Amino acid sequence: MVRILPMASTIRPSLSSLATTRFGGGISMVNSSKRFNSLHFASSVQSQSQHFGLKSCKLFKQEGNRKPSKTIVNMTQGSTATTQESALEWVKSDKRRMLHVVYRVGDLDRTIKFYTECLGMKLLRKRDIPEERYTNAFLGYGPEDSHFVIELTYNYGVDKYDIGSAFGHFGIAVDDVAKTVDLIKAKGGTVTREPGPVKGGKSIIAFVEDPDGYKFELIERGPTPEPLCQVMLRVGDLDRAITFYEKAFGMELLRRRDNPEYKYTIAMMGYGPEDKSAVLELTYNYGVTEYDKGNAYAQIAIGTDDVYKTAEAVKLFGGKITREPGPLPGISTKITACLDPDGWKTVFVDNIDFVKELE
């Protein structure tokens, strides 16, 4: 079973699916006409320098003579480099934590029953939004203000989704993998990989599937404050992904392991050690550069002290902003949404706003 060590509460929020508006069977972004507009988000170096303390380049001499083009290019390149350096410094100092992971299920009550009875999670809260025809349920091993949790989304009338080939699995740390597998079997759960050492390693693991086909890796590990410990996503260029998550998201490369026998490499990225924090496991399969993402998995949410600076840093380091930073319509919670180079979506939420939202 899962054993949980106490975790000190931190003022770092969890994002609910308020980042998105659901229409019919899927989730679509908030209408662009409702986006928060601001001068903060001009794509020029001059606009970015407003947040990162740079002075705009002067391309003309005081007497009006144009500087040589080579000089202008050098000044622009230098300004951009300084902007990135300032952004990187801020990203590293920002208070960030993986808050929750969002995905869609076809039968909310069935999934809640499996997670609570088989995986030992607690139903933290549930909310129904009939006017938009969806229901959310939040589950995990501790309160949302201090633990990584799951946000399930049920869209009215949609009972099946395509998980695709890009999403991998979620990881759960347990004391005894074999006993947990026996419990899941007794409850009618599906075991896809019996307990045993991981390929190329010594850790004892097993794989099970929930009623919607999402895979969970059970990892034999001692007591931990964060049993919901991993989200595994597949990427087409591991070095590119590592660089992006280090610079744009401020994550640390915790470890990297190549397994040539089975033709894959993994990189563990996160904001703290694997035995105490939830981490992102990026997997590169030799020679595979593209995957089908399906329509089931949605996003990860991460807390930040400033969604405006976060959005600028994401753009500087190669990400795509899909929801400009600003408050959500009707409430004061500030968010921004982006895609990484592989198209994986992340939503950043203002820390203080989310704590207020939970109240």
Q: In the chain, pLDDT over 70 holds for what percent of residues?
A: 77
What element of type H or E holds 89? helix 69-93
pLDDT tens-place string over residues 151-185: 999 999 999 999 999 999 999 999 999 999 999 99
Predicted local distance difference test score (pLDDT) of residue 77: 52
* Token pair 């633990």: residue: 147
Sign of CA dihedral 268, 270, 272, 276: negative
Query: Which candidate in 217, 220, 226, 281 is catalytic?
Result: 217
Between 359 and 42, the higher pLDDT residue:
359
The pLDDT mean for the chain works out to: 83
| Cα separations in angstroms, 119 against 23, 104, 214, 273 | 31, 18, 13, 23
pLDDT tens-place string over residues 215-255: 999 999 989 999 999 999 999 999 999 999 999 999 999 99
Predicted local distance difference test score (pLDDT) of residue 248: 97
3-state secondary structure 182-221: HHHHHCCCEEEEEEEECCCCCCEEEEEECCCCCEEEEEEC
217 catalytic per annotation: yes
What element of type H or E holds 356? helix 351-358
CA angle (262 as vertex; 202, 294 as ends), nearest 5? 105
In this structure, the number of other CB atoms found within 10 A of the CB of residue 292 comes to 11
Nearest to 12 by CA among 278, 304, 230: 304
C-alpha to C-alpha distance for 334 and 27, rounded to whole angstroms: 19
Q: What is the band of 49 on the pLDDT scale with cuts at 50, 70, 90?
A: very low
Sign of CA dihedral 301, 304, 310, 311: positive
Contact 206/195 with Cβ under 8 angstroms?
Answer: yes
Q: What is the band of 347 on the pLDDT scale with cuts at 50, 70, 90?
A: very high
In this structure, the number of other CB atoms found within 10 A of the CB of residue 60 comes to 10
C-alpha to C-alpha distance for 154 and 165, rounded to whole angstroms: 21
Instruction: Give yes or no for residue 148 having a pLDDT over 80.
Output: yes
Q: What is the pTM of this model?
A: 0.80
Instruction: Give yes or no for residue 98 having a pLDDT over 70.
Output: yes
Predicted local distance difference test score (pLDDT) of residue 329: 83
Phi/psi of residue 159, nearest 5 degrees? -110, 0
